[in-house]
Amino acid sequence: MSLTALSIADLQEKLRAGELSPLEALNSLEDRIAQVDSRIGGYLWRDFEVAKKFAAEADVSLPLGGVPIAIKDAINVQGEPSMSASKILKGYISPYDATVIARLRAAGAIPFGRTNMDEFAMGSSTENSAFQKTFNPWDISRIPGGSSGGSAAVVAADEAFAALGSDTGGSIRQPAALCGCVGFKPSYGRVSRFGLIAFASSLDQIGPITKTVRDSALVMNAIAGKDAHDSTSLDEPVPDFTAQLGQDLKGVRLGMPREYFIDGIEPNVDAAIRTAIKHYESLGAEIVEVSLPHTEHAVGVYYIIATAEASANLARFDGVRYGHRAQAPNLIEQYGRTREEGFGPEVKRRIILGTYVLSSGYRDAYYLQAQKVRTLIRRDFTEAFKTVDAIICPTTAEVAFKVGERSDDPLKMYLADIFTIAANLAGICGISLPCGFANVDGKQLPIGLQLLGKPFEEAELLKIAHAYEQSTSWHQSRAMA
């Protein structure tokens, strides 16, 4: 196994044993990125010179001491360009660290590069970036998923030991599934959003994309917790997320929602998920059928609430204080031209949709109704969790599709997140982990298994995911990028 293919846990073991230095780990990543990223397009920016200064002084006894971590371009890192993959923020250099970055630094981790994404996190394929496309390391003719596609791709291609992403409707879990990584979405309020460039504030959540479940737990140990800078972060006790890893599944009940096993799932994906469910039974878990009856409304509700919040959040980008500024004879025209030149087509589409559903005469009919149905979706999960410990289902209905295949069909693109959106609406935690491969056009393409957990019971969810991962070998397969 190459050095860059190591998990965080394995890397830490070598660092603490003195077999490897943080500087050597960083140099190996730099070499790997030089070899493969011209084909993958995972990074928008990196600064190894600054990172090497941190590596030279790293304390490997800290929880993440000496571990380099890639950061999604929507998360602010002091002194680095934070553009959210948008032309409207081109040239903006962050004057501060997001809370998650400050906490990673306090744990000894080394942020070193910024990963590509769909502009303002609006997309499911990382084709909406204003600067470049990112490609799936398992087959570079295919998309890596989105919006955290760059983060998933660099982890899968061994260009990063781990990465941070953000998840508004599946943007961590879906690309992790399509790239064969572990993608973890914490409960809403578990991790501070301070310093995350907002898409939809009631849905966004920062989380890790890693090579193993244990690595996700290690990163969560560093970034979770109440933050005075973020009023939506909750003062819930933060456990050691690694403490339950390795426990057996005796007495664990997993809910199989009938609404998530529907026509339209690719046969190879359906077969892999059902095989994984049987494997869980062999590990001692009990499988129980449950119902989430309002699932069919989740996509429609999401695209009302998310676009409404996006139209409000993106109003702050006007070219006056930072980023791109168009030339115009007066201020009003400057606003219009700046946004016309700075925002891409998908962002404009969602701003228009969001402005429409909030407009006079339509707010009650669309936005308020969507919020009511959101409450029903949340209640569905609450009822299901009265009888089960977690829910098991596909992460995606299909494997990665071809680059450009859905560029002209926004509705079909939106449906790529059909199994992940409800978790964001309900505010619960979720994880995607590898559970198989589909052979398509002579290429092995990853399939993701999704587990959804009770609010703030991330430790239990990680335990359940870890038991499956460690009793199978899917996570050990490496992309050949």
Query: Catalytic amino acids?
Result: 72, 147, 171
Helix (H, G, I), strand (E, B), or coil: what is residue 437? strand
Q: Give the span between the Cα atoms of 211 and 183, in whole angstroms.
A: 9
Among residues 324, 352, 355, 322, the alpha carbon closest in space to that of 338 is found at 324
- Report the DSSP pairing between strands 253-257 and 390-394: parallel
DSSP assignment string, 79-136: TSB--TT-GGGTT-B-SS--HHHHHHHHTT-EEEEEE--SGGG--SSS---SS----B
Helix (H, G, I), strand (E, B), or coil: what is residue 419? coil
Q: What are phi and psi of 359, to 5 degrees?
A: -75, 160
Q: Give the span between the Cα atoms of 178 and 193, in whole angstroms.
A: 25
Provide the residue type at 159 as one letter: E
DSSP state at residue 203: T
Cβ atoms 83, 92 nearer than 8 A: yes
Q: Give the span between the Cα atoms of 2 and 416, in whole angstroms.
A: 33
Q: Give the span between the Cα atoms of 165 and 6, in whole angstroms.
A: 20
Among residues 391, 401, 467, 471, the alpha carbon closest in space to that of 438 is found at 401
Q: How many helices (H) and strands (E) does the chain have?
A: 15, 11
Among residues 16, 110, 116, the alpha carbon closest in space to that of 72 is found at 116
DSSP state at residue 265: S
CA dist 179 to 42, 288, 434, Å? 12, 29, 9
Provide the residue type at 270 as one letter: D
Identify the residue whose tokens are 């992309």: 479
Among residues 80, 45, 220, the alpha carbon closest in space to that of 150 is found at 45
Beta strands in 195-343 (DSSP E): 206-210, 253-257, 286-290
